[in-house]
Amino acid sequence: MKYYNNILETIGNTPLVKLNKVLGDDFPALVLAKVETTNPGNSVKDRMALKMIEDAEKDGRLKPGGTIIEGTSGNTGMGLALAAIVKGYKCIFVTNSKQSKEKCDILRAVGAEVIVCPTDVKPTDPRSYYQTAKRLKEETENSWYVNQYDNLSNRTAHYEQTAPEIWDQTDGKLTHFVAGAGTGGTVTGCGMFFKEKNPNIKVIGVDTYGSILKEVHETGVLRPENAHVYITEGIGEDILPENYDMSVIDHFEKVTDKDGAIYARKLAKEEGIFCGYSAGSAMSALVQMKDQFTKDDVIVVLLHDHGSRYVGKIYNDDWMKEMGWL
């Protein structure tokens, strides 16, 4: 008989799928999508969630029967919750009000307590989801604050797992790696691995307007005051997480909230790949950069999470019409 001992053993080994229509008939390069939605929690975050928990268990930060506390846009929370179920931990997750209702409902469905904080406050504000998570850590006995932004096990997971998978699947022939940039774990961890294998591989982070990541990359200066609220979920930051190593990222491409939403819908309708908001942003970024690619390029674009997280927003015609995008 062939079976897994628990759901955590099904994480990884996600498929690489050629994109045929969504980027247009005149797109010059071969584009391969790393479809991370086949992970059990339907996102790339399952990889780093398990890695962060395992590392915290090893060094004693997470003790038996403990409570896992984290600020999350939803996907990291799902990965942590699945691991917590198997390993016997409780979870308290803090998110912000711009995240879809589906994400909160899914987290509650797998047994987590979810606290929603306002979006339009500074990271240092006590009401922000960053500060609320830290406060809960102090108030909760036998708890561990994950802090995916500064927890380097995040990027290590992608250095050890995601990037080697892609390298093997492409026989080392990829020329570009494209991923949404949020906590920095995926784009940096994969970027570190690819640059070691071949320094000529271009690593591209997908950013959104309102985020400060592209500005920090180009100027080396962090100006949190330049951040403003945006609608796109899962990418962009108003802080600079420690998971970033900007030296392994060659370029950040910014995409509007509207274009990310439209291209996510195109990806679903034209490729049959039902993915989240950041996947649409990645598609739009590639189209914007089309003139920079050649017929000899092999581009791997990572699709972070599943479209089921966004059925009340970008996949809802009424919501899209309210935004003026449909």
Catalytically annotated residues: 45
- Please answer whether residues 121 and 127 qualify as being in contact, where contact means their C-beta atoms are separated by less than 8 angstroms: yes
- Please answer whether residues 151 and 52 qualify as being in contact, where contact means their C-beta atoms are separated by less than 8 angstroms: yes
Q: Residue 285: name the closest of 264, 270, 305 by CA.
A: 264
3-state secondary structure the chain: CCCCCCHHHHCCCCCEEECCCCCCCCCCCEEEEEEHHHCCCCECHHHHHHHHHHHHHHCCCCCCCCEEEEECCCHHHHHHHHHHHHHCCEEEEEEECCCCHHHHHHHHHCCCEEEEECCCCCCCCCCCHHHHHHHHHHHCCCEEECCCCCCCHHHHHHHHHHHHHHHHHCCCCCCEEEEECCCCHHHHHHHHHHHHHCCCCEEEEEEEECECHHHHHHHCCCCHHHCCCCCCCCCCCCCCCCCCCHHHCCEEEEECHHHHHHHHHHHHHHHCCCECHHHHHHHHHHHHCHHHCCCCCEEEEEECEEHHHHCCCCCCHHHHHHHCCC
What is the chain's alpha carbon radius of gyration, rounded to the nearest angstrom? 19
